[in-house]
Amino acid sequence: MVFPRQKLLAQKREAAEARLAPLALPAGGKWITTAREDAKARLSAMGLPVRRDEYWKYTDPASLVQAEAPAAALFDDSDESEVFDTLDPLKIVFVDGVFDPEASDDLAMEGVEIALLSEAAKADLHWARDLYGALEADGQSPVERPLAIFNTAFAAEGVLIRATGQAARKISLIYRRRDAGADVLLHHVVKVEAGAEVTVLEHGPAGARFNQVMEVDVADGATLHHVRAQGRDHERRTAAHLFARMGERSVFKSFTLTANGAMVRNEAVIWLNGKGGVAHIAGATVGEGAFHHDDTVFITHAAPDCESRQVFKKVLRHGAVGVFQGKILVKQPAQLTDGYQISQALLLDENAQFLAKPELEIYADDVKCSHGSTSGEIDPVSLFYLRARGIPEDQAKLLLVLAFLAEALDEIEDPDLADDLRPRIETWLRRRSG
């Protein structure tokens, strides 16, 4: 039986109404208040996601939507050095979603303007005003993303970054936790002006529940590198949205490493609007037990000669669930599109599960698009070969798991960043092995 559309909408609006009733918009200046009010109105009309939504078929949105963030035990990661620290980035630290000026560096650097969302109203940041909530709003069609609208309305903090030249240092957004119940909202805007280049890093779990939006505008000939590690806390929940609009010959490369977490939904919406743009998005995920990880990607090729790549790898065991929904939409003008998409899961036992929905929708005639999705176990022949050379079973499996993840990690262009993450994964996996 088909659930009637009207009834579904009524149910979603009801959920939104109940959720919004006790909430007040954060205080702010005029333009941000306008954007927030607009978002709130959009959300009331759209409603909040429910399990019956086609887009939430594999992932239950309940814990991301409910009023109270489910508490999540704090994870002690003092056994390892801070992620990306050796790269000497400019650090911007948030504790439970609140900016920590003591722990942060001066928000000043050659080639880049940086401001906090909470302070933005005071300054005339016309570029931020034009983008805040705008890309998110564009991203609401053809598929609804109400959690991102919620973020636009209620996020009180975030970072506004505008690169005008070659950034002198990488920027690292650091999300620490102190409170086991913190419900965190952050909304970032990144604008990379024509020809400019910057690297934005993120790491840490941010909160018991984290709703994040990053709106990215990469202008003609500009480059943005984005690498994030989402922390190791087991019980945390995350809903992250990345919206990226790309100009001619622009480059955007994004990589996400996820280990653990009760619920993670990472959405990425990318528009290749200018000729010759290059968008790569990749992820490596390791999880076990009560672990649900969802990568949902929507790439629109709207201009000719663009390249997009999606490479997602998940290692799952002990009941962990992985989800991949990835779509490439090639519009009629986007001739000579080169689109590639691969999503793979390595299931370490029969209790792990991978659900994939790869989609291609193509309206141009001269395009090269491929997608593939597989899930499988560790190859017993490879395992035997390694063991026959004297490598103990656990160690051999670890080698094969790392080999499986390598294709995703190879997507990180900067070798220093890859070198920072790779040994961590190895250490985490070694600790979990057995």
State the residues that interact with other proteins by CB under 8 A: 380-382, 384-393, 395-396, 399-400, 402-407
Question: What is the spatial distance between Cα 319 and Cα 293, in angstroms, rounded to a whole number?
Answer: 12
What minimum distance in Å lies between the beta carbon of 203 and other proteins?
25
Cβ nearer to other proteins, comparing 17 with 393: 393
Cβ nearer to other proteins, comparing 336 with 402: 402
Residue with tokens 């911007």: 92
Cβ nearer to other proteins, comparing 68 with 349: 349
Cβ nearer to other proteins, comparing 24 with 381: 381
Number of other CB atoms surrounding residue 326 within 10 Å = 23
What minimum distance in Å lies between the beta carbon of 396 and other proteins?
8
Question: What is the spatial distance between Cα 153 and Cα 43, in angstroms, rounded to a whole number?
Answer: 9
Question: What is the spatial distance between Cα 360 and Cα 434, in angstroms, rounded to a whole number?
Answer: 39
What minimum distance in Å lies between the beta carbon of 369 and other proteins?
23
Question: What is the spatial distance between Cα 119 and Cα 265, in angstroms, rounded to a whole number?
Answer: 29
Backbone angles phi, psi at 323, to 5 degrees: -130, 140
What minimum distance in Å lies between the beta carbon of 313 and other proteins?
10
Cβ nearer to other proteins, comparing 3 with 384: 384
What would the DSSP string read from start to end of 195-236?
Answer: T-EEEEEEES--SSEEEEEEEEEE-TT-EEEEEEE----SS-
Cβ nearer to other proteins, comparing 211 with 344: 344
CA distances from residue 97 to 66, 209, 221, 338 in whole angstroms, order as listed: 19, 10, 33, 39
Backbone angles phi, psi at 119, to 5 degrees: -105, -10
What minimum distance in Å lies between the beta carbon of 275 and other proteins?
34
What minimum distance in Å lies between the beta carbon of 237 and other proteins?
31
